[in-house]
Amino acid sequence: MKKPFDIDLAIKLISKAVRPFPKAAMFELAEAGFNSPFEQLVACMISIRTYDEVSLPTACRLLERARTPKQMSQLTVAQIDALINTSTFHERKAIQIHELAKRVLDEFDGDLPCDSDVLRSFSGVGPKCANLVLGIACEQPYISVDIHVHRVTNRWGYVKASAPEKTMVALEAALPRKHWIDINSLLVPFGKHICTGNLPKCSTCPVLDMCQQVGVTGQR
């Protein structure tokens, strides 16, 4: 018989469990000082469909060369592409990053606003990246749901949704606001190392006694 799911306790236990693992890339980047909305958005665009282990050094390489929209717009698309060529779909991303820099310069005087509609109006930016930027760089309460947050919260039985965007809506209704930003930073390493896609490590999981293990057919 499982205990009722206690989200405050789960967050506390998971915070401790993920301490040995690297932080989610965007949070690590922010701690390294690349924490402006523009830098975070560029890094998130680079991270799409690319492993953190690759996207983090790739984003650092580009941002060390160009940290502001003005500096970025002075690079050519080919130069941006050469700097991010370890990222998946780098050619398309180089065009999108160059366009982003130019639009921020032309339309917002070089200062990317903390505005969800504006962020999502750029080519290559979906709700996951927009919300990460709003949460990390703007310190606004937004939930960013990637595949790890989606998988883990559905396995818990905390939400029931068929896709990350639906999980985001469900979490907005269920999750206390104080956890909206942290949920991503905790569940990305938790999903990578403990509640893994295949064979999650349930036997040593700190929330086993309250997790419904929805859809889990094999475990370690």
- Annotated catalytic sites, by residue? 128
* Residues 6 or more apart in contact with residue 92 via CB below 8 angstroms: 124
Q: Is 202 in the site for ligand SF4 (CB under 6 A)?
A: yes
> CB of 40 within 8 A of CB of 26?
yes
Cβ burial, residue 219 (10 Å; 0-12/13-18/19+): middle
List, as own/partner pairs, every contact residues 94-99 make where C-beta atoms lie below 8 angstroms and the sequence separation is at least 24, other chains included: 96/45, 96/122, 96/123, 96/124, 97/42, 97/45, 97/46, 97/62, 97/72, 98/72, 98/73, 99/123
9 binds ligand SF4 (CB under 6 A): no
**Interaction of residue 13 with ligand SF4, rule CB under 6 A:** no
CA atoms of 110 and 122, how far apart (whole Å): 15
How many positions of this chain bind ligand SF4 (CB under 6 A)? 14
Binding residues among 148-167 for ligand SF4 as defined by CB under 6 A: 152, 155-156
In the bound complex, what is the minimum distance in angstroms from residue 110's beta carbon to ligand SF4?
Answer: 43
Q: Residue 114 or residue 202: which is nearer to ligand SF4 going by CB?
A: 202
From residue 109 to residue 148, the character string flagging contacts with ligand SF4 as x (rule: CB under 6 A) and all else as - is ----------------------------------------
Give 161 or 202: the residue with its C-beta nearer to ligand SF4.
Answer: 202
Q: Which residues form the interface with ligand SF4 (CB under 6 A)?
A: 152, 155-156, 194-195, 200-202, 205, 207-208, 211, 213, 216
